[in-house]
Amino acid sequence: MNLIESRLRPWRALVLAVVVAAATPAVARPLPASAAIASAHPLATAAGEEILAAGGNAFDAAVAVSAALAVVEPYASGLGGGGFWLLHLAKSGRDVFVDGREVAPAAATPGMYLDASGKPVPGLTLDGALAAGIPGQPAGLAHIASRYGRLPLARSLAPAIRLAEQGVPVHRRMTTGLRFRRPAAEKSPGFMAVFYPGGVVPEEGALIRQPDLAATLRRLAENGSDGFYRGETAERLVAGVRAAGGIWTLEDLAGYRVRERVPLRVSYHGATLISAPLPSAGGIGLAQMLNILAAYDLRAMDAATRKHLLVETMRRAYRDRAIYLGDPDFVSPPVEQLMHPFYAAGLRAGIRLDRATPSSALAAIGTDGSEGHDTTHFSIIDTKGNRVGGTLSINTWYGAAFIAPGTGVVLNNEMDDFTVKPGVANVFELVGAGSNAIAPGKRMLSSMSPTFIESPRGVAVVGTPGGSRIITMNLLATLTWLDGADAATMVSLKRFHHQYEPDVISYEDGAFTADELASLEARGHQLVRSERSFGNMNIVTWDYATGRIEAATDPRGTVVGQVY
């Protein structure tokens, strides 16, 4: 029994209701003055707007935006991947978390990426057909449309089908990713044919058409989930994957199921956060960090001390992520206890404001015992007050860089989000334990965490890609909103991050002043300025008093701009 378990055990039976609840009563307030969509690409936002104009609600728009992102950001998310959609149903006040995360195929085994000496084989979880989990996004879209939408699935998918058929202009993030992924892509003729016409990376501005993807989308539109998970699409996917050394079967696809889960709720200084439950680590991490911070007066602190304190809360939450978290259908992490204020008080007691706690001084990960620059997030509010936060992914740039011939579907490499070996870091330098080990049908732990912040002032729908940094980016955005900032400030805020291991603060240029850097170093922190910017946050906010709606997209994510 490690230190944390000994702290948790005595009150393991304590209340569940503190942190997990199903519904909030609808509150009478002025409706939003307009609808708003913030996404990573203007053509995806336009797809959502088209569906709202056609009489769709926020949920129909979410389907349209998700599908369009699959076409215009093929490096970030798509039908070959998965995602989480956090929904707020204005009429009932209910919040729902739609879990369309990928699962491991039935033939997957814990040691499938290890060599004979027990070492992970480089690249095997990242490149090619063996790296791909069974996709969840198509089932998620069909589920949202049929259960929550007002329009038929086919109507909401129409903009994406049109974009795939007519072509979309190539932008810089597309070409940067293609250059980077070329060595893996060269092993997939299906991928090369779509994204390297004539064998070369296309010019920015050239049109890229995806007719196979359009046909796959049409089969989904016409037949719902079965149009992807059974029949022609499924047969092509399985044939292509198996021919390239993968282990998918038709039964894996036919057996895929979306899960609806109860979102996590946490109170902080008069606000309520509604966020992602397992198999996302995001809501739990956010709750843990806010629970630790709740006892401090952050506004009364000097900036360096405040940032030091945030780093210490990040360190502790990510340590627990590594030790405890995994798919709740397979393991039973002590979620209620981890999110309980008493537990936060215990963690808080170990924090010194004058000195960093080395990660090695915290109880270590047992030996029994993961996230995406290339994910995407969108936020939507409609004029009835329905909301959607969607974070979708195929994991790293262009996922596995693999397309089963004739499908147009870029497959994910989310198998890398499992713990391939305890203590061995994944692509996001995340370590884990047995709770996140590979098992057939299991969902790999995620950091994707679409979140609603409800405060007396109004609502913010928040989320971002950024792999392991997603959770800390959401924390920084939350604190900024609660300090009174607008959406534009939240998305452009300079960011910093700590994830327990490696024991460093990584930060964007501008996140700290020279004095703050000196002060953090004097406390014993190791700091590394990142060459890359963090995330691509897309936020919409609704001010209750005025009904005013704001949408803000991250300046880091402009389609012609900086690579993140």
For 263-296, the DSSP string reads: PEEEEETTEEEEE--TTBSHHHHHHHHHHHHTTS
Q: Which of 233, 407, 436, 446 binds ligand GLY (CB under 6 A)?
A: 446
Least CB distance to ligand GLY at residue 467 (A)? 6
Query: In sequence order, what are the residues at sequence separation of 6 or more whose Cβ sits closer than 8 angstroms to the Cβ of residue 197?
Result: 208
Block residue for tokens 């070492």: 119
99 contacts ligand GLY (rule: CB under 6 A):
no
Q: What six digits make up the tokens of 112?
A: 């499938």
CB neighbourhood size of 323 (10 A)? 26
Give 447 or 478: the residue with its C-beta nearer to ligand GLY: 447
Give 233 or 449: the residue with its C-beta nearer to ligand GLY: 449
73 contacts ligand GLY (rule: CB under 6 A):
no
Binding mask 218-247 for ligand GLY (x = CB under 6 A): ------------------------------
312 contacts ligand GLY (rule: CB under 6 A):
no
Contact call for residues 279 and 331 (beta carbons, < 8 A):
no
Number of chain residues interacting with ligand GLY (CB under 6 A): 11
Q: Is the dihedral of CA 525, 526, 529, 532 positive or negative?
A: negative
Give 158 or 281: the residue with its C-beta nearer to ligand GLY: 281
Give 126 or 217: the residue with its C-beta nearer to ligand GLY: 126
Q: Which of 320, 336, 382, 417 binds ligand GLY (CB under 6 A)?
A: 417
Stretch that binds ligand GLY, among 315-323, 367-375, 379-387, 479-487 (CB under 6 A): 367-375
CA distance 236 to 156: 24
Could you give the strand order of the β-sheet that contains 264-268, starting from the edge strand earlier in sequence? Answer: 264-268, 271-275, 451-455, 458-462, 538-543, 549-553
371 contacts ligand GLY (rule: CB under 6 A):
yes
Block residue for tokens 């998310």: 77
83 contacts ligand GLY (rule: CB under 6 A):
no
Helix/strand/coil for 124: coil
Helix/strand/coil for 529: strand
393 contacts ligand GLY (rule: CB under 6 A):
yes
CA distance 480 to 493: 9
Q: Which of 288, 375, 386, 435 binds ligand GLY (CB under 6 A)?
A: 375
Q: Which of 175, 233, 375, 541 is catalytic?
A: 375
Give 249 or 530: the residue with its C-beta nearer to ligand GLY: 530
CA distance 265 to 286: 10
Least CB distance to ligand GLY at residue 412 (A)? 8
375 is catalytic: yes
Residue nearest to ligand GLY (CB): 446
Q: What are the catalytic residues?
A: 375
Per CB under 6 A, residues contacting ligand GLY are: 371-372, 375, 393, 395, 414, 417, 446-448, 467
